[in-house]
Structure 1
Amino acid sequence: MLLAAALLLAQAAPAAPAAQTTQCKATDASLPAGLLGWVAPGDAFVPGKAVALDTIDGAALKGLPAGSKPGKAAMIGFRIESAGIYGVALDQGGWIDVLPGAEGGTALASVRHGHGPECSTIRKIVRFRLEPGIYRLYVSGLAGARVKAMLVAGE
Protein backbone atom coordinates (compact mmCIF):
# COMPACT_ATOMS: atom_id res chain seq x y z
CA MET A 1 0.00 0.00 0.00
CA LEU A 2 2.78 2.39 0.98
CA LEU A 3 4.66 1.46 -2.18
CA ALA A 4 1.58 2.16 -4.34
CA ALA A 5 1.14 5.60 -2.75
CA ALA A 6 4.82 6.43 -3.33
CA LEU A 7 4.53 5.38 -6.97
CA LEU A 8 1.48 7.59 -7.47
CA LEU A 9 3.26 10.59 -5.94
CA ALA A 10 6.33 9.99 -8.07
CA GLN A 11 4.38 10.18 -11.32
CA ALA A 12 4.77 13.43 -13.20
CA ALA A 13 1.80 15.74 -13.11
CA PRO A 14 0.05 16.08 -16.44
CA ALA A 15 1.50 18.83 -18.58
CA ALA A 16 -0.34 22.13 -18.46
CA PRO A 17 -2.04 23.04 -21.71
CA ALA A 18 0.07 25.30 -23.91
CA ALA A 19 -0.71 28.98 -23.54
CA GLN A 20 -3.01 30.15 -26.25
CA THR A 21 -1.51 32.70 -28.59
CA THR A 22 -3.36 34.99 -30.91
CA GLN A 23 -2.87 34.11 -34.54
CA CYS A 24 -2.71 37.34 -36.51
CA LYS A 25 -4.03 37.08 -40.03
CA ALA A 26 -2.69 40.52 -40.93
CA THR A 27 -0.74 43.00 -38.82
CA ASP A 28 -2.54 46.35 -38.29
CA ALA A 29 -5.63 45.08 -40.15
CA SER A 30 -8.08 45.28 -37.24
CA LEU A 31 -7.19 48.55 -35.54
CA PRO A 32 -9.94 50.33 -33.60
CA ALA A 33 -11.34 53.54 -35.15
CA GLY A 34 -9.17 55.83 -32.99
CA LEU A 35 -5.99 54.15 -34.27
CA LEU A 36 -6.79 53.83 -38.00
CA GLY A 37 -4.42 56.71 -38.76
CA TRP A 38 -1.54 54.43 -37.76
CA VAL A 39 -1.61 53.01 -41.29
CA ALA A 40 -2.29 56.38 -42.97
CA PRO A 41 0.89 58.40 -42.40
CA GLY A 42 0.88 62.18 -42.40
CA ASP A 43 3.44 64.98 -42.32
CA ALA A 44 2.26 66.80 -39.18
CA PHE A 45 1.92 65.42 -35.66
CA VAL A 46 -1.84 65.79 -35.35
CA PRO A 47 -4.45 63.47 -33.86
CA GLY A 48 -5.18 60.52 -36.07
CA LYS A 49 -2.12 60.51 -38.34
CA ALA A 50 1.16 58.68 -37.81
CA VAL A 51 4.47 60.36 -38.62
CA ALA A 52 7.90 58.88 -39.22
CA LEU A 53 10.64 60.79 -37.42
CA ASP A 54 14.35 60.54 -38.11
CA THR A 55 16.37 59.90 -34.95
CA ILE A 56 19.72 61.35 -33.93
CA ASP A 57 22.14 60.73 -31.09
CA GLY A 58 20.22 61.88 -28.00
CA ALA A 59 23.27 63.74 -26.69
CA ALA A 60 23.03 66.03 -29.74
CA LEU A 61 19.29 66.77 -29.45
CA LYS A 62 18.76 70.29 -28.08
CA GLY A 63 16.18 70.53 -25.31
CA LEU A 64 16.04 66.84 -24.46
CA PRO A 65 14.52 66.78 -20.95
CA ALA A 66 16.31 65.52 -17.86
CA GLY A 67 15.59 61.85 -17.25
CA SER A 68 15.62 60.97 -20.95
CA LYS A 69 17.09 57.60 -21.83
CA PRO A 70 20.43 57.12 -23.63
CA GLY A 71 20.43 56.16 -27.28
CA LYS A 72 18.83 57.78 -30.28
CA ALA A 73 16.13 60.42 -29.90
CA ALA A 74 13.67 62.52 -31.89
CA MET A 75 11.53 65.61 -31.32
CA ILE A 76 8.46 67.13 -32.97
CA GLY A 77 6.25 70.07 -32.03
CA PHE A 78 2.47 69.96 -32.07
CA ARG A 79 -0.63 71.97 -31.18
CA ILE A 80 -3.67 70.90 -29.17
CA GLU A 81 -6.96 72.64 -29.98
CA SER A 82 -9.26 70.99 -27.40
CA ALA A 83 -8.50 69.96 -23.83
CA GLY A 84 -8.49 66.25 -23.13
CA ILE A 85 -6.46 63.13 -22.67
CA TYR A 86 -4.20 62.36 -25.62
CA GLY A 87 -2.00 59.36 -26.22
CA VAL A 88 1.38 59.11 -27.90
CA ALA A 89 1.79 55.79 -29.71
CA LEU A 90 5.20 54.42 -30.74
CA ASP A 91 6.25 51.51 -32.92
CA GLN A 92 9.16 50.61 -30.61
CA GLY A 93 10.20 50.77 -27.01
CA GLY A 94 11.34 54.20 -25.96
CA TRP A 95 10.91 56.94 -23.38
CA ILE A 96 8.16 59.49 -24.13
CA ASP A 97 8.21 63.06 -22.79
CA VAL A 98 5.71 65.82 -23.58
CA LEU A 99 6.68 69.40 -22.68
CA PRO A 100 4.47 72.49 -22.88
CA GLY A 101 5.49 75.52 -24.95
CA ALA A 102 7.98 76.07 -27.71
CA GLU A 103 11.08 75.80 -25.49
CA GLY A 104 12.14 75.12 -21.91
CA GLY A 105 9.67 73.77 -19.39
CA THR A 106 9.28 70.57 -17.46
CA ALA A 107 8.02 67.26 -18.85
CA LEU A 108 4.38 66.57 -18.04
CA ALA A 109 3.37 63.61 -15.91
CA SER A 110 1.63 60.86 -17.84
CA VAL A 111 -1.80 59.67 -16.73
CA ARG A 112 -1.69 56.14 -18.15
CA HIS A 113 0.61 53.67 -19.94
CA GLY A 114 -0.37 50.77 -22.15
CA HIS A 115 0.43 48.62 -25.13
CA GLY A 116 -0.99 48.74 -28.61
CA PRO A 117 -3.73 46.32 -29.63
CA GLU A 118 -2.86 42.70 -30.41
CA CYS A 119 -1.84 42.14 -34.02
CA SER A 120 -0.64 45.73 -34.37
CA THR A 121 2.78 47.28 -34.78
CA ILE A 122 1.98 49.78 -32.00
CA ARG A 123 4.41 48.89 -29.21
CA LYS A 124 3.22 51.34 -26.56
CA ILE A 125 0.81 54.20 -25.88
CA VAL A 126 1.40 56.74 -23.12
CA ARG A 127 -1.42 59.18 -22.31
CA PHE A 128 -1.22 62.77 -21.09
CA ARG A 129 -3.82 65.33 -19.98
CA LEU A 130 -3.34 68.30 -22.34
CA GLU A 131 -4.89 71.76 -22.47
CA PRO A 132 -5.08 73.84 -25.67
CA GLY A 133 -1.65 75.11 -26.65
CA ILE A 134 1.72 74.27 -28.13
CA TYR A 135 3.72 71.22 -27.01
CA ARG A 136 6.88 69.32 -27.88
CA LEU A 137 7.20 65.54 -28.03
CA TYR A 138 10.59 64.04 -27.21
CA VAL A 139 11.22 60.32 -27.59
CA SER A 140 14.50 58.84 -26.38
CA GLY A 141 16.14 55.51 -25.69
CA LEU A 142 15.54 54.47 -29.29
CA ALA A 143 17.66 52.05 -31.29
CA GLY A 144 16.54 52.63 -34.88
CA ALA A 145 17.22 55.37 -37.43
CA ARG A 146 13.49 56.21 -37.52
CA VAL A 147 10.55 56.03 -35.13
CA LYS A 148 6.87 55.96 -36.03
CA ALA A 149 4.70 58.04 -33.70
CA MET A 150 1.04 59.01 -33.57
CA LEU A 151 -0.99 61.43 -31.49
CA VAL A 152 -4.13 59.61 -30.34
CA ALA A 153 -7.18 61.65 -29.32
CA GLY A 154 -9.47 60.53 -26.51
CA GLU A 155 -9.20 57.80 -23.93
Structure 2
Amino acid sequence: MSFRRAPLPLAMVAALFPTASMAQMDHGQPQCAAGAELPAPLASWRSPTPMRAAADAKAAARTTLTPGQAVTLTLRQTPTVSYPVRPAKPGGSVSYGGLASFTVAQSGTWRVALGSGAWVDVVKDGKAAESVAHGHGPNCSGIRKMVDYSLHPGRYTLQIAASGEERLTLLVTPSP
Protein backbone atom coordinates (compact mmCIF):
# COMPACT_ATOMS: atom_id res chain seq x y z
CA MET A 1 0.00 0.00 0.00
CA SER A 2 1.47 3.38 -0.95
CA PHE A 3 0.57 6.70 0.53
CA ARG A 4 0.44 9.82 -1.53
CA ARG A 5 1.11 13.15 0.15
CA ALA A 6 -1.05 16.15 -0.58
CA PRO A 7 0.92 19.06 -2.06
CA LEU A 8 1.82 21.82 0.40
CA PRO A 9 0.09 25.16 -0.11
CA LEU A 10 2.37 27.70 -1.80
CA ALA A 11 2.39 29.95 1.28
CA MET A 12 3.79 27.09 3.39
CA VAL A 13 6.48 26.39 0.84
CA ALA A 14 7.45 30.06 0.76
CA ALA A 15 7.61 30.16 4.56
CA LEU A 16 9.82 27.07 4.64
CA PHE A 17 12.19 28.25 1.90
CA PRO A 18 12.35 32.06 1.80
CA THR A 19 14.40 33.48 -1.03
CA ALA A 20 16.77 36.39 -0.80
CA SER A 21 14.45 38.52 -2.90
CA MET A 22 11.52 37.80 -0.60
CA ALA A 23 13.56 38.86 2.41
CA GLN A 24 14.30 42.22 0.76
CA MET A 25 10.67 43.07 0.05
CA ASP A 26 7.98 44.65 2.18
CA HIS A 27 4.79 44.77 0.09
CA GLY A 28 6.81 45.66 -2.98
CA GLN A 29 8.86 48.37 -1.24
CA PRO A 30 12.61 48.03 -0.66
CA GLN A 31 13.79 47.77 2.92
CA CYS A 32 15.34 51.06 3.94
CA ALA A 33 18.49 51.90 5.79
CA ALA A 34 18.08 54.62 8.40
CA GLY A 35 19.05 58.07 7.21
CA ALA A 36 19.06 57.49 3.44
CA GLU A 37 20.45 60.59 1.67
CA LEU A 38 18.02 63.12 0.19
CA PRO A 39 18.81 65.64 -2.54
CA ALA A 40 19.41 69.19 -1.23
CA PRO A 41 15.94 70.56 -2.18
CA LEU A 42 14.32 67.80 -0.08
CA ALA A 43 16.79 67.85 2.83
CA SER A 44 14.36 69.37 5.37
CA TRP A 45 11.93 66.45 4.87
CA ARG A 46 13.36 64.64 7.88
CA SER A 47 12.91 67.62 10.24
CA PRO A 48 9.43 69.02 9.60
CA THR A 49 7.96 71.90 11.57
CA PRO A 50 4.47 71.31 13.03
CA MET A 51 1.67 73.50 11.65
CA ARG A 52 -2.14 73.54 11.76
CA ALA A 53 -3.94 73.84 8.40
CA ALA A 54 -6.33 76.71 7.86
CA ALA A 55 -10.03 76.14 7.19
CA ASP A 56 -10.62 79.10 4.82
CA ALA A 57 -8.74 81.50 2.52
CA LYS A 58 -8.57 84.31 5.09
CA ALA A 59 -6.90 82.05 7.67
CA ALA A 60 -4.69 80.50 4.95
CA ALA A 61 -3.11 83.93 4.40
CA ARG A 62 -1.80 83.69 8.00
CA THR A 63 -0.80 80.01 7.72
CA THR A 64 2.43 80.55 5.84
CA LEU A 65 4.69 77.82 4.48
CA THR A 66 8.36 78.66 4.06
CA PRO A 67 9.62 77.29 0.74
CA GLY A 68 12.31 74.70 1.39
CA GLN A 69 11.07 73.88 4.93
CA ALA A 70 9.01 70.71 5.41
CA VAL A 71 5.98 70.86 7.70
CA THR A 72 3.78 68.29 9.34
CA LEU A 73 0.40 69.79 8.71
CA THR A 74 -2.44 68.86 11.06
CA LEU A 75 -5.42 68.80 8.74
CA ARG A 76 -9.10 69.45 9.40
CA GLN A 77 -12.13 67.31 8.72
CA THR A 78 -13.19 67.96 5.13
CA PRO A 79 -16.68 69.33 5.91
CA THR A 80 -15.08 72.17 7.93
CA VAL A 81 -12.81 73.36 5.07
CA SER A 82 -13.94 76.11 2.69
CA TYR A 83 -11.76 75.70 -0.40
CA PRO A 84 -11.18 78.77 -2.63
CA VAL A 85 -11.44 76.43 -5.66
CA ARG A 86 -13.32 73.14 -5.49
CA PRO A 87 -10.70 70.34 -5.54
CA ALA A 88 -11.06 67.79 -8.36
CA LYS A 89 -10.98 65.13 -5.61
CA PRO A 90 -12.50 66.80 -2.57
CA GLY A 91 -12.74 63.69 -0.40
CA GLY A 92 -15.69 62.67 1.71
CA SER A 93 -17.01 63.52 5.13
CA VAL A 94 -14.47 61.22 6.83
CA SER A 95 -11.41 62.60 5.00
CA TYR A 96 -9.13 65.48 5.95
CA GLY A 97 -7.94 68.62 4.20
CA GLY A 98 -6.78 72.15 4.73
CA LEU A 99 -5.15 75.27 3.39
CA ALA A 100 -1.88 77.15 3.72
CA SER A 101 -0.12 79.84 1.71
CA PHE A 102 3.35 80.39 0.31
CA THR A 103 5.16 83.02 -1.71
CA VAL A 104 7.06 82.42 -4.93
CA ALA A 105 9.95 84.87 -5.37
CA GLN A 106 11.18 83.65 -8.77
CA SER A 107 9.43 82.17 -11.78
CA GLY A 108 10.15 78.54 -12.39
CA THR A 109 9.06 75.02 -11.65
CA TRP A 110 7.96 74.52 -8.07
CA ARG A 111 7.46 71.13 -6.41
CA VAL A 112 4.99 70.06 -3.74
CA ALA A 113 6.13 66.86 -2.01
CA LEU A 114 3.56 64.92 0.06
CA GLY A 115 3.90 62.05 2.49
CA SER A 116 0.59 60.52 1.34
CA GLY A 117 -1.62 60.27 -1.71
CA ALA A 118 -3.74 63.30 -0.73
CA TRP A 119 -4.99 65.62 -3.47
CA VAL A 120 -3.09 68.91 -3.85
CA ASP A 121 -3.93 72.12 -5.71
CA VAL A 122 -1.95 75.35 -5.99
CA VAL A 123 -4.35 78.29 -6.34
CA LYS A 124 -3.89 81.95 -7.30
CA ASP A 125 -6.52 84.52 -8.22
CA GLY A 126 -9.34 81.95 -8.00
CA LYS A 127 -7.73 79.47 -10.41
CA ALA A 128 -5.91 76.20 -9.78
CA ALA A 129 -2.53 75.96 -11.51
CA GLU A 130 -2.06 73.10 -13.97
CA SER A 131 0.51 70.55 -12.85
CA VAL A 132 3.42 70.01 -15.24
CA ALA A 133 4.78 66.74 -13.78
CA HIS A 134 3.97 64.03 -11.24
CA GLY A 135 6.24 61.54 -9.57
CA HIS A 136 7.25 59.64 -6.47
CA GLY A 137 9.87 60.63 -3.96
CA PRO A 138 13.22 58.91 -3.69
CA ASN A 139 13.12 55.34 -2.34
CA CYS A 140 13.10 55.18 1.45
CA SER A 141 12.40 58.93 1.81
CA GLY A 142 8.79 58.77 3.02
CA ILE A 143 7.80 61.06 0.14
CA ARG A 144 4.92 59.32 -1.58
CA LYS A 145 3.97 61.92 -4.16
CA MET A 146 5.57 64.92 -5.86
CA VAL A 147 3.67 67.36 -8.09
CA ASP A 148 5.40 70.11 -10.08
CA TYR A 149 3.86 73.43 -11.14
CA SER A 150 5.15 76.26 -13.35
CA LEU A 151 4.67 79.32 -11.13
CA HIS A 152 5.35 83.05 -11.41
CA PRO A 153 6.18 85.42 -8.54
CA GLY A 154 3.30 85.98 -6.14
CA ARG A 155 1.31 84.58 -3.25
CA TYR A 156 -0.35 81.15 -3.65
CA THR A 157 -2.78 79.07 -1.62
CA LEU A 158 -1.99 75.39 -1.21
CA GLN A 159 -5.11 73.21 -0.97
CA ILE A 160 -4.89 69.72 0.49
CA ALA A 161 -7.93 67.45 0.06
CA ALA A 162 -8.94 63.80 0.29
CA SER A 163 -6.37 62.80 2.89
CA GLY A 164 -7.11 59.61 4.76
CA GLU A 165 -5.02 60.76 7.71
CA GLU A 166 -5.20 63.81 9.95
CA ARG A 167 -1.48 64.60 9.69
CA LEU A 168 0.47 65.09 6.50
CA THR A 169 4.12 65.92 5.95
CA LEU A 170 4.63 68.22 2.98
CA LEU A 171 7.25 70.44 1.42
CA VAL A 172 7.04 73.25 -1.15
CA THR A 173 10.36 73.89 -2.87
CA PRO A 174 11.82 75.06 -6.17
CA SER A 175 12.24 72.02 -8.41
CA PRO A 176 15.80 71.15 -9.43
Relative to the length of structure 1, the TM-score reads 0.78
Residue 122 (structure 2) aligned to one of 98, 107, 114: 98
- Partner of 1:34: helix, strand, or coil? helix
On the 8 A contact 1:58/1:64 being kept in 2, the answer is no
- Structure 1 counterpart of 2:44: 37
Structure 2, unaligned runs of 5 or more: 1-19, 52-63
Structure 1, unaligned runs of 5 or more: 1-16
- RCO higher in 1 or 2 (8 Å CA, sep ≥ 6)? 1
1-structure distance, mates of 2:42, 2:113: 9
Number of matched residues?
135
On the 8 A contact 1:86/1:154 being kept in 2, the answer is yes
1-structure distance, mates of 2:158, 2:89: 12
Q: 1:18: how far off?
A: 4.8
- Structure 1 counterpart of 2:73: 53
Given the alignment of the two structures, is residue 136 of structure 1 paired with residue 157 of structure 2, yes or no?
A: yes
Given the alignment of the two structures, is residue 85 of structure 1 paired with residue 109 of structure 2, yes or no?
A: yes
Q: 1:45: how far off?
A: 1.4
1-structure distance, mates of 2:160, 2:84: 9
% same residue: 34
On the 8 A contact 1:85/1:153 being kept in 2, the answer is yes
Relative to the length of structure 2, the TM-score reads 0.69
2-structure distance, mates of 1:140, 1:95: 5
Q: 1:34: how far off?
A: 1.4
Residue 82 (structure 2) aligned to one of 41, 62, 66: 62
2-structure distance, mates of 1:123, 1:64: 25
- Structure 1 counterpart of 2:32: 24
The one-letter code sitting in structure 2 at the alignment partner of 1:132 is P
